[in-house]
Chain A
Amino acid sequence: MSRDPQAALMALNRFGFGARGGASGDLVNAASDPRGFVRADLQRPAAVRLEMPTLQPTPALAEVAFAYQAEVKQAREAAKANAKAAAGVADGKPAPPAQPSNSKPASAGVSNKMASMDMPAKDNADAQVQANDAAKAPKPLNVIQKTFRAEALARLQRALQVDCGFGERLVTFWSNHFCISAAKGQLGRMWAGSFEREAIRPHVFGRFSEMLMAVEQHPAMLFFLDNQQSLGPDSRAGQNRKRGLNENLAREIMELHTLGVGSGYTQADVTSLARIITGWTFVGRQGKLGPPGTFVFNANAHEPGPQTLLGKTYADTGLAQGEAALADIARHPATAKFIATKFARHFVADDPPPALVARLQDVFRRTDGDLKALATTLVDSDEAWQAPLTKMRSPYEYLIATGRLLDHMPEEPGRYLGGLNMLGQPLWSPSGPNGFPDTNAAWAAPEGMKLRLDIAAEVASRIGDNVDPRDLLELVAADAASQETRQTIQRAESRQQALALLLMSPEFQRR
Chain B
Amino acid sequence: MESNVDCCENRLVTSRRGFLLGGASFAAWAYLPKFARAADGRDPRLIVVILRGALDGLATVAPVGDPDYAALHGPIALTSDGPHAATMLDSFFALHPAMPEFARMYRGKQAAVIHAVATPYRDRSHFDGQDVLESGFAGPGRVQSGWLNRALESLPKGEHVSNGLAVGATTPLVLRGAAPTVGWAPANLPPAADDTAMRLLDLYQHRDPALASALRQGLQLEKTALGEDMKARPGGNNIAAMRLVARGAAKVMAADDGPRIAALAFDGWDTHANEGGPVGRLSQLLSGLDGALGEFQSGLGERWRDSVVVVATEFGRTARINGTEGTDHGTGTVALLAGGAVKGGRVIADWPGLKPANLYEGRDLAPTADLRAALKGILRDHLGLGEAVLAKNVFPASAAVKPMQGLVG
Contacts and interface: CB of A to CB of B under 8 A. Distances in A.
Contacts of B217: 446
B52 A494 contact: yes
Contacts of B269: 493
B193 A453 contact: yes
Contacts of B172: 465
B270 A493 contact: yes
A37 B208 CA distance: 28
A450 B216 CA distance: 9
Contacts of A482: 207
A497 to B, nearest CB: 5
B170 A462 contact: yes
A509 B12 CA distance: 22
Interface string B5-30: 11111111100100111110100000
B54 A453 contact: no
Given A449-B215, A453-B200, A458-B20, A421 B173 contact: no
A468 interface: yes
B231 interface: no
A453 B193 CA distance: 8
B192 interface: yes
A27 B25 CA distance: 34
A506 B13 contact: no
A317 interface: no
Interface stretch (B35-43, B64-72, B218-226): B218-226
Interface residues of B, number: 61
A100 interface: no
A253 interface: no
A454 B16 contact: yes
B199 A501 contact: yes
> Chain A, interface size: which category?
35 or more
B199 A497 contact: yes
Contact of B2 (A411, A495, A509): A411
Contacts of B222: 450
Interface stretch (A10-18, A280-288, A296-304, A484-492): A484-492
A414 B9 CA distance: 6
B161 to A, nearest CB: 22
Interface string B170-210: 10110010000000000000011101110110111011101
B51 to A, nearest CB: 10
A490 B249 CA distance: 32
A421 B11 CA distance: 10
B2 A421 contact: no
B191 A418 contact: no
A444 B210 contact: yes
A319 B210 CA distance: 51
Contacts of B16: 422, 451, 454
A80 interface: no
B211 A494 contact: no
Nearest to A487: B203
Contacts of B8: 414, 418
Contact of B203 (A422, A462, A496, A501): A501
Interface in A178-202: none
Interface of B: 1-3, 5-13, 16, 19-23, 25, 52-54, 125-127, 130, 142, 170, 172-173, 176, 191-193, 195-197, 199-200, 202-204, 206-208, 210-211, 214-222, 267-270, 272
Interface of A: 138, 410-412, 414-415, 417-419, 421-422, 440, 444-451, 453-454, 457-458, 461-462, 465, 468-470, 482, 484-485, 488, 490-498, 500-501, 504-506, 509-510
12 contacts: A418-B5, A445-B218, A461-B20, A462-B21, A485-B207, A493-B52, A494-B52, A495-B126, A496-B52, A497-B267, A501-B200, A510-B208
Given A418-B11, A421-B12, A494-B52, 9 more contacts: A418-B8, A446-B220, A446-B221, A450-B222, A484-B203, A488-B202, A492-B199, A501-B203, A506-B204
Give the 6 A-B CB pairs with smallest separation, nearest first: A450-B218, A493-B270, A493-B53, A446-B217, A446-B218, A414-B6
